[in-house]
Amino acid sequence: MTDWSTDPALAAELDAADPLAALRDRFELPPAPDGADDSIYFVGNSLGPLPKKSRAYVTGELQRWSSLGVKGHFSGEPGWADYHRTFEESMARIVGAAPHEVTVMNALSVNLHLLLISFYQPTPQRHKILIEEHAFPSDHFAVESQIRQRGFDPATSLVTVKPREGEQLLHTEDIIAAIDACGDELATVLLPGVQYYTGQVLPIAEIARAGHRVGATVGIDLAHAVGNIELSMHDDDVDFATWCSYKYLNASPGGVSGIYVHERHVDDQALPKLLGWWGTRRDTRFEMVNEFDAIPTAESWQISNGTALTNAALRGALEVVDEAGGMGPLRAKSRQLTGYLLYLLDELAGDDVTSITPRDPEQRGCQLSLEIVPGDIDGKAVFDEIEAAGVFCDWRYPNVIRVAPAPMFNTFSEVRRFVDLLVAGIAAHR
First to last CA, the chain: 34
- Count other Cβ atoms within 10 Å, centred on residue 180: 12
Amino acid (one-letter) located at 275: L
Average the pLDDT over 174-192 and give the result. Answer: 98
Predicted confidence at residue 113, as pLDDT, reads 98
> With b meaning 16 or more CB within 10 Å and e meaning fewer, what string describes 350-382?
eebbebbbeeeeebbbbbbbbbbbeeebbbeeb
Over the stretch 300-321, which tens digit does the pLDDT of each residue have? 999 999 999 999 999 999 999 9
The proportion of the chain whose per-residue pLDDT surpasses 70, expressed as a percent, equals 100
The SS3 of residue 188 is strand
Q: What separation in angstroms does the CA of 409 have from each of 172, 366, 386, 416?
A: 32, 12, 19, 15
**Does residue 36 carry a pLDDT above 80?**
no
User: CA-CA distance, 59 to 69, in Å (whole number)?
Assistant: 15
HSE-CB of 127 using CA atoms within 13 angstroms: 16
Q: pLDDT tier at 2 (50, 70, 90 boundaries)? A: low
Question: What are φ and ψ of residue 37, in 5° steps?
Answer: -70, -175
Q: Does domain 58-323 have CATH number 3.30.2130.10?
A: no
The proportion of the chain whose per-residue pLDDT surpasses 90, expressed as a percent, equals 95
Predicted confidence at residue 376, as pLDDT, reads 79
Predicted confidence at residue 430, as pLDDT, reads 85
Name residues whose C-beta falls within 8 Å of residue 159's C-beta, 6 or more positions apart in sequence: 128, 129, 130, 131, 178, 182, 186
DSSP state of 300: G
Please, what is the Cα angle at 196 between 191 and 200, to 5 degrees? 75
**Does residue 298 carry a pLDDT above 80?**
yes
Average the pLDDT over 18-40 and give the result. Answer: 92
DSSP state of 127: -
User: CA-CA distance, 362 to 201, in Å (whole number)?
Assistant: 7
**Does residue 286 carry a pLDDT above 60?**
yes
How far is Cα of residue 58 from the mean position of the Cα atoms in its chain? 22
Predicted confidence at residue 35, as pLDDT, reads 74
Can you give the length of the chain in residues?
Answer: 430
Average the pLDDT over 294-298 and give the result. Answer: 96
The CATH number of 9-30+326-428 is which of 1.10.1060.10, 3.90.1150.10, 3.40.50.300, 2.60.40.10?
3.90.1150.10
Predicted confidence at residue 375, as pLDDT, reads 75
Check: pTM over 0.85? Answer yes or no. yes
Average the pLDDT over 71-89 and give the result. Answer: 93
Q: Mean pLDDT for the chain?
A: 96
Return the closest-CA partner of residue 401 out of 194, 168, 244, 198.
198
Could you tell me where in the chain the CATH 3.40.640.10 domains are found?
Answer: 58-323
Could you tell me where in the chain the CATH 3.90.1150.10 domains are found?
Answer: 9-30+326-428
User: CA-CA distance, 368 to 110, in Å (whole number)?
Assistant: 28
User: CA-CA distance, 178 to 191, in Å (whole number)?
Assistant: 12
Q: Are strands 128-132 and 158-161 parallel, antiparallel or unpaired?
A: parallel
Average the pLDDT over 349-358 and give the result. Answer: 96
The SS3 of residue 106 is coil
Over the stretch 368-415, which tens digit does the pLDDT of each residue have? 999 998 777 899 999 999 999 999 999 999 999 999 999 999 999 999
